[in-house]
Each structure stands twice: as structure tokens, then as C-alpha cells.
Structure 1
Amino acid sequence: MNQNLSRRDFLKIAGVSLGALAFSPYRLPYFDYLSAPKRLPEFPGSEIIGRVVENGIDLRNRPTNDDALNTSIGKLNADSLVEWNRQVVGNVIYGLSNQRYVETPQGYIYASVLQPTRNNPNTPIAEMPAGQPGFWAEVTVPYVNLAHEGTVQSPWLKSNIEYNFPPRLYYGQVVWIDQVRASNGFTEYRWNEDVNGHGYGYGAYGEFFWADGAAFKILTDEDVAPISPDFDPNEKKITADLDRQTLSCYEGTNEVYFCRISSGLSYDPATGLTSDKLATPVGNLLTHWKI
């Protein structure tokens, strides 16, 4: 039966279908997929690419979440990618402080659930640098799919398998690479999530993953060198403004870096009441560890 679908109806149907796929219980063929080599996919062509970070995110025809205006025209699931046109000031209610939306060709998405990324693929090296056990590398594409090697150990990977969601690394993540191979028709790097200091912590499980080497920028000594190494460390300061949700770095009185942040919650999400249970601690604090 032929039926003309409006853009709104199409997006709603697409959202429901993708949601069912993302949360269906794992199927046996998933384990074949888990270890299969994977090339980088094609990404949107915009300078900035937005990655949706949660499931069931509203795509809206206006930059507001006011339910009375019925602005939702579809649902987007985690890792959906959109062309990022610009940020606009919207009308955000229900206790949310961030008023920004991102304008895309299809509609508006709340900025707090959209990661800005870029697609900057790299030319991978053909073999490991001589005399080095490995190197640090940064993901410079929206995401890269992983091919697992060995036994599934970590809770996060078991959860991905349960919900049939592909394991990935994301734009900006830095990982330890300890092997290079080209046996599958393209160059792959092996991410070693080991338990001896190269993992992300929280009980690294020593798993191995292969990924398309084009996704990674090899970090050099210059990339990780201290900013202004000759400046007195006692005159360097990092200030986090929890009211404005911003972070500034100072050398003396000169601001040398600025960015927006998402700090801890100043309220209890279970009750909605003000609470310091999940809040970022205030005061003059020492920097114990920096990545």
C-alpha cells in the first residue's frame, strides 16, 4: 500500500526503528562482528560534526523544549551524526541551565547532548617505531569502530554485547597503541587497554582492540609538552566557574585558555533538591593529576 509520509512521520518511524535495533538483545552473529576488521565509515561533510551522546534525543523544529509547543519532530539515538551549522540561544525550561541549541539542516538539537567533533583522518604508519614498546594516539574522527581480540572481560564491553551496540572510541580520546598490522588490506593499530598504567583506570581489564589506523593522530613530545615551561608554576592557575560553567587557565593575570565545562550536579537528581552529593567541590584545590 502506498502511503505518503510527511517528514515528521518519517523521522518518527526512523527513530523507533533505530531504537529497537540499538536495544535488542545480542544475537550470536554479534561475536563474529566483534572481532571483524572495520574500516572507517563515511562521515558527514560539515566542518563540525555533532555526535548525539544519548538515546532518544529530540530533534526539534524550534530551539525549545517546551512541551506545550510540540516542537519534537523525531528521535535520535546515541552516535547519530549530524551536520553542525551553528549554535543558537533557545528557550530551555524544566530547570535546565544551558540555553543553547545546535542548528542542523534537519532541525535543532539541545547542545548539552551533542558532542562537537571533526573528521580529520590521518596517514597511519606502516610499522611500530624502532625501539619503542608503543605510543600514545588521539582519535581525530567522530568515532572509530573496534575489533576485539581475545576474551571479553570488561563490564562495558559485556554491556555493549547485551544491547547489541558496537564498541567504539570517540573523538578526542587518547589511547596506548602497542602493535601495527596491515594483514586485512589496510593499516590497523592495536589499542592495549592494559592494567599497568595505559588503561582508562577504574580497573582496566587488559583487553585488546584493533582499529583503523587512519582514525589516530600519533602524539609527539611537542603535543604533550607543558605550556610555557619557563613560566613560574606557582603563578599558573586553573579557575572553574560553576555558576557560568566555564574554565579558564591563567599565567599570572593573563588568561591563556578558556572553555565551557559540565561540572558536577548541584542538586540530587532523585529528589530535585539542592545537594552537594554530586557537586564539584569548591575552594582552592591542588592539581593532583592531569591527562
Structure 2
Amino acid sequence: MGNVARPESSRRAATRHFWYNSDTMNKTYTRREFIKLAALSLGSLAFRPFAPQKAGNETGFVVRVAAASVSVYAQPDDTSRIVQQRYRDELVNVYHEIVSDKGPGYNPVWYRVWGGYMHSARLQTVREQLNPVVERIPAGGLLAEVSVPYTQAYMPGPRDTWSEVYRLYCDTLHWVIALDEGPDGGPWYRLKDELNDAEYHVPAEHLRIVRPEEMSPLAVDVPPEKKRIEVSIEKQMMWAYEEDRLVFSTKVSTGVLKRDRSINGIPTATPVGEFRVISKMPSKHMGGGQLTNDLEAYVLPGVPWTTFFDGTGVAFHGTYWHTNYGMTMSRGCVNLRPEEARWVFRWTTPVTEYGEIEKRGYGTRVIVT
């Protein structure tokens, strides 16, 4: 799709969509500075240190720009005139969805927005749900889902300072290990990163605690050897069978076919062959493990409902950085919508108990062709 230069007027307009201010990002704050800036935001939308501004949509739904930029076109057609650009993490009101006869054929879904049309591929549908705070956190922690468009995580530092680290996005899952007083004096959950063991904080009301029944196993009366999953790279489809009965099917995004290898030296193409589910993790930090607030870095904390079936790290998992199912998009994994990934997680074996960070075993058969 096309691209245009970002005019000065667009840069000014973009800042009005956020409680962030570009001059105050990438900074370490003392508690006093943090509280002062947060208090200023009560009378102005100029700054909000840990969440986006509400989009205020009453008739349609809201999407988050999940790429560096996404074009707004005059028509639902990527050969039409580009009207403007929308930039990473902006929230956009969608008036309605359109299936365009101009395609693309694998994903012809476009959104009618202010000023034109945006293709759905790099837009994440989000919600704005604030949650009651759970004060008692058990020793093993609680699994929680981000239920706002995004929440900015902070790490406490020396001399009562707080520094930005990851931005955590809607539908991602994280392990809550404690409830602390945050930099604004309010209740913030302390999260434990399973990859790098880092601990950082987000406002507690931004996370919804996952109930045990939401991850309880499905079809437990079906013998495990009667279950199988088939994936077609050519068709970008996945099917789940109980013996020969189809019980689930959906479009997927498998690995991009590249001659070079990904940053960890593993091919980006999804491997073909017959596999078994070997590990399941409801929350997985993928990509690099470095602590950063760089929004363009390849760090993906909290990837939801991860079901590994190959020792190189290939898995079924939920995806929050694109919705372009039907096209190869990944670095080898099988991308699914988060709710579909949760179904796969629950339906496959080995069975995961609530509170387990990882479950390993010789599980459901997976055939990739």
C-alpha cells in the first residue's frame, strides 16, 4: 500500500489523540513529577503517563493502529488516493466495516473512518474496560488480561524514580505477582516477565483477572489420540478434528517465506511435517528480552495462549499486532485471533492447570502441509 510524507499539521493533530506528549516520553520520572503531570491531565488531555485517550466512539467501534503508520484512502481500494496517515497506537473510530470488491482477495475487509477508508490488516479492535482491583494476590500469582487499548509499564528505580519500559497492549496476558502503590499513589499491579524475570508495574484497573473456567480444558471426553490439527500453508487455513469430525476451522497467518533467517538464526518459514504439542504457556514473551520503551523494537511481552509444537519455538498463538489472516505474516508461528488461540490452548493436550506458567508433555498431533 502507498505512503505519503507526514505534514506538520498531521503531526500536531496526532498528538491530540493521546494523553502522551512527545516531549515527555522516554523519560524517567520522580514520584512527585509523575503525580504532578497526572494531576494536570485531569483538566487537560495533554498528558497521561500510562494510557491512551478515550476515542469517544458511540456508534461503531475503536481500533488501534498496530504498525508504524497506516494510510487512509479516499476509497476502499489501495490504488485510490491517500488522504492521510495514522500512526502507531493512535485510536481510530470506525463507523462501519466494508468488504471491498477491490480486495485484496485474502482479506477484503476495510473500515470506514473519518476522512476515508483504512484496510484492516494492521488495525487491532480494542475495548476500554476498567476493572475492580484484586487486593489479595496468591503466592503463585494471577493471570491477567489487558482490557484497555494499551497500558504503559513502569519500573521503580533509585531515589523514588519510575522509568518507562514496555507498552502492553489489549488482549495480552501477564502474570500479576503483587499489588503495590504506583507512582501516582494509586493501586498498581506488579507483573513478572517470564522471559527475563523483570518486574514492572501497570495500573491495576487496566488488567482483568482471568478466571479459571476461561482456560479449563475442552472436549475432555474425547480420547487425546483422536484429536488432531491440520494447517495448510498454501491455503492459510487451520482445521481441528475429533477423529474425522471437523470441530473448528479458521484462517491463519503462517511464516513469511524468506531466504534469510530471523534474528535468532531460525528460518521464518513455518516448518512442514507431523508434530506434537510439546509445551503450552498462557503468557509468553516473544522476540527480544531486552528492557526497552522503543515502540519499534522486536519485543512482544504477553503473547496470549501459546501452544508450541516444534522445538525451534514454533507455536499457535494469539496476535495483537495484525489482523491480516489469510496471508503469511509471522516469523514461523501460526498466528490466530486471541479468542481462537484460547480455543486451541484449551482443546489441545497436555492439559494446563490454572496458575501454571508452562505445561510440557507429549500432546495433540499437528500436521502442517
Q: Is the 8 A contact 1:60 1:73 kept in 2?
A: yes
Q: Which amino acid aligns with 1:175?
A: H
- Say which of 205, 213, 217 aligns to 1:226: 217
- Say which of 269, 279, 287 aligns to 2:269: 279
Q: Which amino acid aligns with 1:32?
A: Y
Question: How many Å separate the matches in 1 of 2:26 and 2:234?
Answer: 48
- Inter-CA distance 285–29: structure 2 relative to 1 (3 Å threshold): closer
Give the corresponding residue for 1:134.
141
Question: How many Å separate the matches in 2 of 1:62 and 1:39?
Answer: 35
Question: How many Å separate the matches in 1 of 2:23 and 2:53?
Answer: 25
Question: How many Å separate the matches in 2 of 1:13 and 1:122?
Answer: 38
Q: Is the 8 A contact 2:69 2:86 kept in 1?
A: yes
CA drift of 1:17 comes to 4.7
Identify, as 1 or 2, the structure richer in strand.
2
Give the corresponding residue for 2:227.
236
CA drift of 1:26 comes to 8.5
- Inter-CA distance 103–249: structure 2 relative to 1 (3 Å threshold): farther
Give the corresponding residue for 2:327.
none
Query: Aligned Cα RMSD in Å?
Result: 3.8
Question: How many Å separate the matches in 2 of 1:123 and 1:105?
Answer: 34
Secondary structure of 1:226 counterpart: coil
Report the identity percentage: 20
Give the corresponding residue for 2:152.
145
Q: TM-score, normalised by structure 1?
A: 0.70
- Say which of 128, 136, 148 aligns to 1:119: 128
Q: After alignment, is 240-249 or 279-288 more displaced?
A: 240-249
1:1-291 superposed matches below 5 A: 12-17=7-12, 30-32=27-29, 36=34, 38=49, 40-44=51-55, 45=57, 48-66=61-79, 69=80, 71-84=81-94, 85-89=96-100, 91=102, 97-125=106-134, 127-129=135-137, 131-150=138-157, 167-182=166-181, 184-193=184-193, 199=194, 201=195, 204=196, 206-268=197-259, 277-290=267-280, 291=306
Q: Is the 8 A contact 1:245 1:262 kept in 2?
A: yes
What CA deviation, in whole Å up to 9, does each residue of 1:19-47 have, x standing for no partner?
Answer: 89xxxx99797112899475544433356
What CA deviation, in whole Å up to 9, does each residue of 1:144-188 have, x standing for no partner?
Answer: 12222248xxxxxx9xx7xxxx73101111111111134645321
- Inter-CA distance 33–246: structure 2 relative to 1 (3 Å threshold): farther
Q: Is the 8 A contact 2:188 2:202 kept in 1?
A: yes
Give the corresponding residue for 1:6.
none
Q: TM-score, normalised by structure 2?
A: 0.56
Q: Which amino acid aligns with 2:27?
A: Y
- Inter-CA distance 256–145: structure 2 relative to 1 (3 Å threshold): farther
Q: Which amino acid aligns with 2:214?
A: D
Any unmatched runs of 5+ in structure 1?
Answer: 1-10, 152-157, 194-198, 271-275
Q: Is the 8 A contact 1:12 1:74 kept in 2?
A: no
Q: Is the 8 A contact 1:87 1:101 kept in 2?
A: yes
Question: How many Å separate the matches in 1 of 2:235 and 2:126?
Answer: 23
CA drift of 1:119 comes to 2.5
Any unmatched runs of 5+ in structure 2?
Answer: 1-5, 16-21, 36-48, 281-305, 307-369
CA drift of 1:62 comes to 0.9
Question: How many Å separate the matches in 1 of 2:14 and 2:224?
Answer: 50
Aligned length: 247
CA drift of 1:236 comes to 1.7
Give the corresponding residue for 1:7.
none
- Inter-CA distance 63–191: structure 2 relative to 1 (3 Å threshold): same
Secondary structure of 2:139 counterpart: coil
CA drift of 1:100 comes to 3.0
Q: Is the 8 A contact 1:191 1:209 kept in 2?
A: yes
CA drift of 1:230 comes to 2.4
- Inter-CA distance 14–262: structure 2 relative to 1 (3 Å threshold): farther
Secondary structure of 2:277 counterpart: coil
